[in-house]
Amino acid sequence: MKEHDDGPLPEASAEEIEIEAGEATEASEAIEAGEATEVSEATEAGEATAAGEATEAGEATEAGEATEAGEATEAGEAIEAGEATEAGEAIEAGEATEVEQEEAPPIEESPLLPLGAWQPEVYTALLALIDRYGVHSPDYDPERPPLAIFDCDGTLIHHDVGEAMMRYMITRRKLNTDRGFWQHLVPDRLGRDALNAAYKAVAGRHDNEVHDTAAYRRYRAGMMGAYHTLLETEGHDVAYSFAVRMLRGQHERTVADLCEEVLEYELGRPLGQEDIPYGPPFAGLVVPTGIRVYIEMVELIGALENQGFQTWIVSASNAYIVKALARRIGFPEERVLAVELQTQGGRYTDRIVEPSPVGEGKLEMFLDIVGRSPVFVAGDSMNDLELMENCDDTCLVIDKGGDDEILKIGEESGWLIQPPLSV
């Protein structure tokens, strides 16, 4: 456009009028082409004046489809993902805003049983078991109370009390090594002669005299190693028999005192591990230390007893240490089934009383003595499988780690799974 100076405009000459008319003519042609001179940039970008609104909104013609769909170009990624722009926050979280998950309400603790460290689903199932079979159920018969079985090691307690007693006896050399001890207890392939010789070298001497000797290290590593080798190669039955038969030749009163000594020591000992030094030719090993009774298990036994159940402990450890432990938690020792030895003249022999409650022997012994199937079984290993399979109602597996087989069976069977409890 032509600029003018300030002041009154002079009258236009005929020539100027023609020039102005010519400019108008040139502009009219642009108008007829639908192009506004002020939007020449849009003309160069191929924008039609009909899309002026999109031009003012900064929309490119290539996004015409989004314009027609009423979608903002800033939400192009959401369009490609098929997500509505109103659910942008939900897109990032992978959740629809309309289906926000509500937190589960806290579980209500029953006066029958403290909640403790029980998993919510386990706790609920235990209360339901009490409701179905306890004294307030319509079918309750005090002459035939419902039966509940607890394994001991790894289930009722943390760690293994039978193994703890065996290690205590080995470490303190509390063995009665009469003429037939080594012959009947230790297989030749596990270094019987070397162990016999090492033990003779340290027998009858004070602890502070022998603990740093090669003979003591050889004897201790070899005896503990023999148990673990039998466990790995021969199975639970043979290994547990080895542990209990270590009482061979001991008097019943001596063993009773020994059990109290072991419990006093192990219940006060920190939970952890101990390195047993190697003593050539026997390799060293790592063993657990300390035992603790699970608080929730004692509370569960009390709750079941209060509601009319009859509870039992069935263990593959020696009966003498398990009964001593039962007395400490107020459990009737006459309802403890565990491995026992035959006696002669008040002393234990190396002959196991049959049936031995190891593996399927647990079920056999329980049915022989009690005569009915339980409605509840708690265990932690394949050693408890047969008891669990014979259970009429609820099974509880304590997942202490290391026995994937029983966990797999438990999950497939719909049994309760509970991590280790409070100590």
At residue 24, the pLDDT reads: 30
Positive/negative CA dihedral, 222, 322, 265, 401: positive
Beta strands in 151-214 (DSSP E): 157-158
- Specify whether the CB–CB gap between 273 and 286 falls below 8 A: yes
- Specify whether the CB–CB gap between 291 and 317 falls below 8 A: no
Cα separations in angstroms, 212 against 277, 281, 285, 287: 10, 17, 17, 19
Positive/negative CA dihedral, 179, 182, 187, 188: negative
Distance between CA atoms of 90 and 335, rounded to whole angstroms?
59
Distance between CA atoms of 123 and 136, rounded to whole angstroms?
19
Q: Which of 384, 379, 303, 372 is nearest to 146 (CA)?
A: 372
Question: In the chain, what are the helix, strand and coil shares in percent, each to the nearest 5?
Answer: 50, 15, 35
- Specify whether the CB–CB gap between 307 and 331 falls below 8 A: no
- Specify whether the CB–CB gap between 158 and 423 falls below 8 A: yes
Token code pair at residue 121:
């689903």
Question: What pTM was estimated for this model as a whole?
Answer: 0.76
Helices (H), 307-359: 319-328
Distance between CA atoms of 4 and 20, rounded to whole angstroms?
14
Domains of the chain with CATH codes: 120-157+292-418 (3.40.50.1000), 160-289 (1.20.1440)
At residue 302, the pLDDT reads: 98
Q: List b or e across 97-106, with b for residues whose CB sees 16 or more CB atoms inside 10 angstroms.
A: eeeeeeeeee
Estimate to the nearest angstrom the gap between the alpha carbon of 171 and the chain centroid. Answer: 33
- Specify whether the CB–CB gap between 312 and 335 falls below 8 A: yes
The angle formed by the CA atoms of residues 307, 310 and 312, to the nearest 5 degrees, is 135
How many Cβ atoms are within 10 Å of 15's Cβ, its own excluded? 8
Radius of gyration (C-alpha) of the chain in whole angstroms: 42
Distance between CA atoms of 130 and 136, rounded to whole angstroms?
9
Helices (H), 76-180: 76-80, 88-93, 120-133, 161-171
At residue 104, the pLDDT reads: 62
What is the mean pLDDT for each group of 10 consecutive residues in the chain (423 residues)?
38 35 34 33 32 34 36 38 41 43 76 97 98 97 98 98 98 92 94 96 92 96 98 95 97 98 98 97 97 98 98 98 98 98 97 96 98 98 97 97 94 97 96
At residue 129, the pLDDT reads: 98
Q: List b or e across 273-284, with b for residues whose CB sees 16 or more CB atoms inside 10 angstroms.
A: eeebeebeebee
Half-sphere exposure of 220 (CA within 13 A, CB side): 28
Token code pair at residue 27:
């502009």
In a 3-state reduction of DSSP, which class is residue 420?
A: coil
How many Cβ atoms are within 10 Å of 357's Cβ, its own excluded? 25
Q: Which residues pair with 396 in a beta bridge?
A: 378, 416
At residue 336, the pLDDT reads: 98
- Specify whether the CB–CB gap between 341 and 251 falls below 8 A: no
Q: Which residues pair with 343 in a beta bridge?
A: 348
The angle formed by the CA atoms of residues 348, 242 and 186, to the nearest 5 degrees, is 100
Q: Which of 302, 170, 307 is nearest to 228 (CA)?
A: 170
At residue 141, the pLDDT reads: 98
